[in-house]
Amino acid sequence: MHLRRTLALLAGAALAVAAAVVPAQAATTDGFSVSGGRIYDANGTQFVPQGINHAHAWYPTQTSSFAAIRAAGANTVRVVLSGGRYGTSSASDVSNVISLCKANQLVCILEDHDTTGYGEDGSASSLAKAASYWTSIKSALVGQEAYVMINIGNEPFGNSGYSAWKSDTIAAISTLRAAGLKHTLVVDAPNWGQDWSFTMRDNAAAVAAADSNTVFSIHMYGVFDTSAEVKAYIDAFRSKSLPLMVGEFGDHHSDGDPDEDTIMSYTRSQGVGMLGWSWSGNGSGVEYLDMTNGFNASSLTTWGRRFINGTDGLKARAAAVATVYSGGSSSGGSSGGSSGGSTSGTAANGYPYCSSSSVDPDGDGWGWENSASCVVKGSSADTGSGSSSGGSSGGSTTGTAANGYPYCSSSSVDPDGDGWGWENSASCVVKGSSADTGSAGSSSTAANGYPYCSSASVDPDGDGWGWENNASCVVRGSSADT
């Protein structure tokens, strides 16, 4: 995505059917790798990137977004960097970004945005220049192979000059490998990322033959406005065992109306990576692609509610984090957990385990560290440990409600009495209330676990999702009332 997207021309050519390709020898790596069209983490466990784009280069002070993106259910964040076109993301800045990713158990896909629209936009940089940028910050990247993928250049050609995509991509990869960068690389499609000319689709096998630790990324906006187009493009890569992710997409765009429902459902069913654009900060007429209002995680937009809380969204997917964070050992370095009583892994409810029970001062099983909620292993909040959620009298209530939200420690955090409270920077459910869908009398909560809105007036755009009491709600009887 960029601040000015030229309308892509639709091409009518049918998808070509090609024989399966056996990639060439993989680059030596201590981190992520590619095999059989799938991505594997440093422990050899299959990994599917699922997450959100964050415009760090333009908003470098919005560092709390990393924790918020993880809390939204992401296991990956694609981070906008710049080698000069939008300022310069220095080695120290990139090191800090990587630290933020690791602290929040996110895989970092770092991308150089300077190449956006090259060949059509005179201010854009070439892939060769992008490769030089990556080698210039090598000190921040080496040793981070288990946590970082390098997306060489965002949307590296517009609608002109894109016939050079294959040769320029292979040359840029060669530059990074010659410099000793062993990371899994991600390469974007031309045509402002949408590949209407099928240049990437038809030449991906040649790139994979040159370097088999490379993943291909398609951006799906107006060109992908039908289910058939979405599925056909993904199938073209899957049928040839070539690794693909949808590196950007939205729910609508000035160049057409992307079929986000199919993008989200088909990537999920096919095990293909998916990253929505973007957390916040869009301008130049595409502000509707913001998922939050002003980087406020408590104020989701229509797109944010759809992507995070909707069907096949992040919450529904409960994406597994890379095992370098969730328990496996890695030669690529530690996950940053503390020593002495460190507990690694992810609880059955999808939250990370706390490093120590010391971060749970009230003893309810829920702690707070690395700017995110965590579960004390073996506590009543650890729903996979077999311990009872147990009620309590006159105070702390422990465990997790049937809808996946933690129980509130006290009904005092629910001032309006709707059964939903707010503590530890997260929504919680008052045990035994109408929002506690595992108990009798849950009529005020929709089947998807969200509370019903008090009135349709809090849903100004009529999509069935409203906002009140600092939380999303569902309009009863609407299309969102599943």
Q: Which of 155, 229, 260, 423 is catalytic?
A: 155
Residue 253 DSSP one-character state: B
Query: Which residues in 214-339 belong to E strands, given as ranges?
Result: 214-220, 244-249, 273-276, 292-293, 296-300
Between CA 51 and CA 89 the distance in angstroms is: 22
* Helix, strand, coil percentages, rounded to 5, for the chain: 25, 20, 55
Between CA 475 and CA 482 the distance in angstroms is: 11
Kindly give the interhelix angle for 165-178 and 199-210, rounded to the nearest 10 degrees: 30
Q: Which helix (H) or strand (E) holds 111?
A: strand 107-112
Q: Which residue has the tokens 């929040």?
A: 104
Query: Which residues in 311-464 belong to E strands, given as ranges?
Result: 366-369, 372-375, 420-423, 426-429
Q: Which helix (H) or strand (E) holds 50?
A: strand 50-54
Between CA 223 and CA 255 the distance in angstroms is: 8
In the residue annotation, 423 being an active-site residue is answered as no
Closest CA to 238 of 12, 17, 13, 11: 17
Q: How far is CA 45 from CA 39, 48, 86, 90, in A?
A: 8, 10, 36, 32
Q: How far is CA 305 from CA 172, 443, 450, in A?
A: 37, 22, 12
In the residue annotation, 248 being an active-site residue is answered as yes
Opening angle at CA 154, ends 222 and 147, nearest 5:
120
Q: Which of 111, 145, 229, 248 is catalytic?
A: 248
Length of the chain: 482
> Residues with catalytic annotation?
155, 248
